[in-house]
Structure formats: C-alpha cells, structure tokens
Amino acid sequence: MGAQAAGPLVVGVDSSTQSTKVLVVDAASGTVVARGRAPHAVGGGAGKESDPGRWWAALGAALGQCGEAARQAGAVSVAGQQHGLVTLDAAGAPVRPALLWNDVRSAPQAERLVAELGGAAAWAERVGSVPGAAFTVAKWAWLREHEPAAAAATTAVRLPHDHLTERLTGAAVTDRGDASGTGWWSSATEAYDTGILDHVGLDPAALPRVARPGEVVGTVRTDELPLPRGALVAAGTGDNMAAALGLGLRPGRPVLSLGTSGTVYAVSRRRPADPSGTVAGFADARGDWLPLACTLNCTLAVDRIAALLGRDREAVEAGGEAVLLPFLDGERTPNLPGASGLLHGLRHDTTPGQVLQAAYDGAVFALLKAVDQVLDAESAADAPLLLIGGGARGRAWRETVRRLSGRPVEVPDARELVALGAAAQAAGLLLGEDPAAVAERWGTARGTAYPPRERDTAAWERLTATLADGEALLRR
C-alpha cells in the first residue's frame, strides 16, 4: 500500500481497449493508496476483437498488484470501453470473442439500419445518435449476418463493463451511460427501444436491466478476485462517462481525451440529437447528457507513424506543408470506415519530424473541429480544454492541441480519470453522495494550466482542404 488512508477504501476499475487499470482510493480524501495495471490483447484479423475472459484475468492481475488494499475495499465500480458486443451462451460463457468499438466491419450494417429505420434525423430524434459501425446494434446485425450460428447460440448480450459487473455480482445490470452507446436504448424514452430490438431480432430478455444512477446493484459474490465478499458494487458505466465523473465535470467544460480512441465531450442538461452523426447523444452516468465525438485513430496511430519514421514520439519539428490524415484503422469522425492513411504535400526539404508533426495535427483535427458542437451554445468560447488520457502526458500532443485550437489547456495531475471516476461512483454509494461532488471534493481536476497560443490557421486550412480533396480516395 502506498499513501495512508483515513476513510473507507473503494476500488475503481477502467477496463479499456489496451489494458485494465485499477485504483484503490481513500473515499474520504481521494488519495490513491494502491494501483495496478494489466494489458489486454486485441486481435481479430480484419476486425478488432478481445476475449472477455482475458479482461477478467487482467482485472484479477491488476487487483493483485494492489496487495492488501484491494481486500479492504468497501465498494467497487467497473467502467469499461463502450459499445463492445459481448455474447454469452446459456451457461454464461462467451460464444465468441467480443466485437470491439473500433471494429469497422459493421459499417455496412450501420448504414443499412439507418436507412431501414427512417434515416439519420429519425435515429437522432429516437435514439439520440445516428449509429455508425461502433454502435452495438450494428455489431449484432453483423454477427447475425456473418455468423448466424453464434447469434443463435447467444442467450445474453452485454457491454464490456456489464459483463465484468455480472461476474462480480451475479446481477445482469447496466447503466444509462453505457446503454446509450448501444443504439437500442432510446434517449427520448430512457428505455430500451423494443421496435429496434425487434428489427434486429434481439429478445429484450437477453439484455441487462438499466440501473438508476446511485443504485447499489449488488455485492461482490465471487472468490476468484482479491476483493472482499459483500463489498457494495455500483452500476459502473462507459469509460468516457466515468472520466466525466472522475473530473466532477459540469456543463460548459470541454474535455479532450487522447487514448486508443480520441474523444471530445462535455456535460449538457439538454438531450443531444445531431442528425449529422458527428456528435453521439450519449447519456452521462448521473442523469444529464454527454454529447461526444470520437475518432478511431489517436495515440496508437501516431505512435505507429513515429515507429515507421524511426523517431521518438516527441521528436516533432515545426514547418513544412505536409498533411497526414492518419486513418490507419479506417475512421469514425469523419465517418470514413474504409479509409486508410493519406500523406500529401511532401517536398525535397520535408523532414521526418515535420511528417510526424503532421500526424499529430491530423489526429486531433476532427476532435478540435467538434469542440463547439459538443458544448451548449451558451458556453464560454474561451473555456479551457481539459486534456486527459495517456496522450495528455506527452508534450507533442499538448502543444499540437494548443497550436490548432487556440484555446487554453488544462492537464489534470490525476492520471487515471476513468478509474478515478469509477472510484468516485463507488465512494458515492458508501457515503451517500453524488459522485461528481465526491470528485470535486477530491480535487481530481487540479493540474497545470497552459495559456492559449496563437492559432495555426494555415495548418488548419491545409487539413480542411486535404480532407475535402482526398474524399474520393478516403471513401475507396
């Protein structure tokens, strides 16, 4: 155990794309007393898949690294990567590996579903979002079409965080935040949409119950993990909703998260409904909304380009006119699921460091373009961007965001805001408090403030033009 604890201990879990991270936190002060981390494997050939059993094993390994502290927890909450399709058989075992949020094979099914059920505006009004390949409903439609035997063997469908919560408690339960990324939960009625479920041949009985914010959904009932039996378990939520909890986020504060995915979001009191599909109309974990735009190519794509160039990720150079759209995995924002990376504007004097800088620029461009779209109209135009996720630790990422946004940037000292948000949710159960108020009291958003820099409008215009002119290639 690291630092001393005064209050009861809580465990917050972040089961994200690349790894599971666990924090044991003093509920009274927010002090992190122990932490653990274990990697996941993402496979699946042309797609992106992970074995849910590996998430469970990684959770056990990460908790094990926390030593005695985890065994003293009074409450636990699991946050996880959004959208993933976990299919279970009658014995509760996975029928096949989970299809992940960044698997673009389901793009044709998403397109078809949008057309079949009234078009983009109708979906935005009914569900809050226009589903793309990421949404669980498109993944389920893909499975029925490509692996009908697997779909037929499925008796329960879960999201990654639901699956882990169920293994902890035995309860089939999810929360409104993660449910809002399925495409079969309506933000208009705040309930499963039986018309959509019927359309895709999924029995509502196969889905978990949607818990109320603040509900105790069960207690730890497994001996497979180093957690105390009987500890309270919160509903958990999607990883972006958990980070919003972890920051104690209030409306008007935009967040930019740089991890496997790039996301930009804000809390809103108004239910979003963007018919263009750029902004997903997610629910947050407390009863408000979380309009969010997400890219597929963020830290992994830029690290891959740095490796191709044989450079350290910080070895960027200013200047030149190269433009790089690093869409190595296809892209979600803009919606170009079949795209690959595009490099334009090379000259004899272009340096490798300038090409790497262009990759950073291309990775944050669509996210920065969406900042104003996720904020309510009355938000201050110069509100600082809260920069989080693994990339927030990097100078090149931070300076790129400052240069292309022209906004002030704040980088919280706290590293694991998703796990911290889950811990705040767990602490809320024990203390009978709102998790956002818990996080505020913990001071999780405290960090370093960077003033605005002059905006690089020339680079912005080059990116805009290359995206428009390259459209035919990017749609191929």
Catalytic (active-site) positions: 239
Establish whether 82 is an annotated binding residue: yes
**Residue 100 Cβ, how far from ligand 5SP at the closest point, in Å?**
8
303 binds, among ligand ADP, ligand 5SP, none (CB under 5 to 8 A by kind): ligand ADP
Q: Is 16 in the site for ligand ADP (CB under 6 A)?
A: yes
**Residue 96 Cβ, how far from ligand 5SP at the closest point, in Å?**
20
CA-CA distance, 272 to 262, in Å (whole number)? 20
CA-CA distance, 458 to 29, in Å (whole number)? 46
Establish whether 146 is an annotated binding residue: no
Q: Is 66 in the site for ligand ADP (CB under 6 A)?
A: no
Stretch that binds ligand ADP, among 55-63, 243-251, 366-374, 390-398 (CB under 6 A): 390-398
Window 231 to 270, contacts with ligand ADP (CB under 6 A)? 259-261
Stretch that binds ligand ADP, among 17-25, 199-207, 265-273, 439-447 (CB under 6 A): 17-25
**Residue 214 Cβ, how far from ligand 5SP at the closest point, in Å?**
22
**Applying CB under 6 A, which of residues 248, 326, 391, 421 lies at the interface with ligand ADP?**
391
Q: Is 174 in the site for ligand ADP (CB under 6 A)?
A: no
Residues in contact with ligand ADP, total (CB under 6 A)? 17
394 binds, among ligand ADP, ligand 5SP, none (CB under 5 to 8 A by kind): ligand ADP
Q: Is 394 in the site for ligand ADP (CB under 6 A)?
A: yes
Window 313 to 332, contacts with ligand ADP (CB under 6 A)? 313
Tell me the torsion sign for CA atoms 466, 467, 471, 476: positive
82 binds, among ligand ADP, ligand 5SP, none (CB under 5 to 8 A by kind): ligand 5SP
**Residue 6 Cβ, how far from ligand ADP at the closest point, in Å?**
29
**Residue 384 Cβ, how far from ligand ADP at the closest point, in Å?**
20
**Sites of contact with ligand 5SP (CB under 6 A):** 16-17, 81-83, 101, 134, 181, 238-240, 259-261, 263, 280, 294
Q: Which residue carries 């439609």 as its tokens?
A: 141
393 binds, among ligand ADP, ligand 5SP, none (CB under 5 to 8 A by kind): ligand ADP
Q: Pattern of binders to ligand ADP over 268-307, x per CB under 6 A?
A: -------------------------------xx--x----
| Residue ranges at the known binding site for substrate | 82-83
Positions in the binding site for ligand ADP (CB under 6 A): 16-19, 259-261, 299-300, 303, 313, 389-391, 393-394, 397
